[in-house]
Structure 1
């Protein structure tokens, strides 16, 4: 084979085995490998297996793959391999990590990964795969996504973890200091985002952001079904990872309800991952859009597609900013 062919085959092989690498990381998290090694460094595979209740043979293989993936480090002492976390694992894969993504990884392993087993059917049929995966009708989206209290809690904690990394870039994309009463619509764990917004606005625009604890509590109390419940009056509505769940007509319905509820000058902050205008990137956005096909009735969209939705709902002032992170920001005003 030529050098070019070798490189092509290497890339091809990476693609083939990509799902295996993801599952290795998910499994190590689920078994508690990284949490154990955070509390006790330099353990042998047999000790780790005993502590976590697994087979020694399986655990040794898992640990060594994690070393190759740079999730763990290993030192040889007296002929024995001693394992410890890498900085990446400590930061993102332990429950106590400062930027832990533990809950989202478990959700992806238990729910997303399972649904993606039916990607072929999702593409053929053009609808989510909760019926095949969990026996839940595909038209009952809320029951599918939040099918148990445990699942809901895990999902909400996972979203909070994502915002711990992406929230600051989203909130600082625009000057939000003129908005004094903020509501989340959609049940996302926006507590962290709103608190960041309060803190950042006070830091960046001293004296211009009169946020209060009472307003924050109102924000929490008024969460509900935004398709059936009245939309409360506010200065700014936050839709974080909401519109991508729904088909265009549902998005316009929600945005129109917000438009009718708010006064001139009020705004809507949308937090989503934006596709390029030709829809051929970024890769993460494309994969997330495919995930919307598998798990919801929506999709990720381009800035132009979002502009069209807002225009149909009545909004005229529309702007967006790419943050350079996974999630981008859109701000529209009435």
Structure 2
């Protein structure tokens, strides 16, 4: 049910419209190593320090870091007239590669694979089939042929799956009485 205020200003629709920008900002910060650099650094880092160490432009770094502060993925404080950045607890725990609860690999899989496939959603709906071939120029009838096409792709997919498991694995295992079983198998699924 839509309220009158929603019809006067479509806040929900505007948030939906920008959702991909939020995702891609987080994915980019992960890919460039922003969270890892801040986690591993023993000193506080300015925009110029981060840009230099990651070999990215200062202007680009400034925009990305500011966006991450807005998303509450980074913290910033002014020290001697310089903006100095650090990770939030959330990004330290989930977006750094070295964390036991890292979701870094999930973010990279979403950015490099799922995000690319979703560009072809209209084609998938029209044709009723997955768009892996169109997205990655790989001819395949079985989606897992594409996922397992090389050692690197297998590693990437397994790291993604491990990320999922690190978050919800304990809940899955404890949701059922599995005491009579000695092995658990992941039977996978069919990804469109």
Give the TM-score normalised by structure 2. Answer: 0.92
Specify the alignment match of 1:50 in structure 2. 52
Offset of 1:3 from its aligned partner? 7.5
Offset of 1:11 from its aligned partner? 1.6
Separation (CA, whole Å) in 2 of partners of 1:84 and 1:100: 17
Q: Judging changes above 3 Å, is the alpha-carbon distance between structure 1 residues 87 and 6 closer, same or farther for their aligned structure 2 residues?
A: farther
> Which segment drifts farther, 6-15 or 156-165?
6-15
Specify the alignment match of 1:12 in structure 2. 13
Structure number with the bigger relative contact order (C-alpha 8 A, sep ≥ 6) is: 2
- Could you list the per-position Cα deviations for residues 130-163 of structure 1 after superposition, in whole angstroms to 9, with x for gaps in the alignment? 1111111241422212232112101101211211
Separation (CA, whole Å) in 2 of partners of 1:104 and 1:73: 23
Specify the alignment match of 1:166 in structure 2. 168
Specify the alignment match of 1:327 in structure 2. none
Specify the alignment match of 1:84 in structure 2. 86
Specify the alignment match of 2:157 in structure 1. 155
- Could you list the per-position Cα deviations for residues 142-195 of structure 1 after superposition, in whole angstroms to 9, with x for gaps in the alignment? 221223211210110121121111111111111111223x252xxxxxxxxxxx
Instruction: Tell me the number of residue pairs that the alignment of Structure 1 and Structure 2 aligns.
Output: 189
> Which segment drifts farther, 108-117 or 147-156?
147-156
Specify the alignment match of 1:317 in structure 2. none
Specify the alignment match of 1:95 in structure 2. 97
Indicate conservation of the 8 Å contact 1:93/1:100, yes or no. yes
Q: Judging changes above 3 Å, is the alpha-carbon distance between structure 1 residues 7 and 170 closer, same or farther for their aligned structure 2 residues?
A: farther
Task: Tell me the secondary structure at the aligned position of residue 147 of structure 1.
Answer: coil
Larger radius of gyration: 1
Task: Tell me the secondary structure at the aligned position of residue 65 of structure 1.
Answer: helix
Give the TM-score normalised by structure 1. Answer: 0.54
Separation (CA, whole Å) in 1 of partners of 2:52 and 2:96: 19
Structure ranking higher in helix proportion: 2
**Residue 142 (structure 1) aligned to one of 141, 144, 151:** 144
Which residues in structure 2 correspond to 1:30-45 (within 5 Å)?
30-40=31-41, 41-45=43-47
Separation (CA, whole Å) in 1 of partners of 2:141 and 2:32: 34
Separation (CA, whole Å) in 2 of partners of 1:147 and 1:175: 36
Indicate conservation of the 8 Å contact 1:26/1:105, yes or no. yes
Offset of 1:8 from its aligned partner? 4.7
Q: Judging changes above 3 Å, is the alpha-carbon distance between structure 1 residues 174 and 5 closer, same or farther for their aligned structure 2 residues?
A: closer
Which residues in structure 2 correspond to 1:1-334 (within 5 Å)?
4-5=5-6, 8-40=9-41, 41-180=43-182, 182-184=183-185, 238-239=186-187, 242=188, 244-245=189-190, 292-293=191-192
Unaligned runs of 5+ in 2: none
Task: Tell me the secondary structure at the aligned position of residue 102 of structure 2.
Answer: coil
Offset of 1:6 from its aligned partner? 7.6
Write out the 4+ residue segments of structure 1 that deviate beyond 3 Å after TM superposition.
5-8
Task: Tell me the secondary structure at the aligned position of residue 47 of structure 1.
Answer: helix
Q: CA RMSD in A?
A: 1.8
Separation (CA, whole Å) in 2 of partners of 1:151 and 1:98: 22
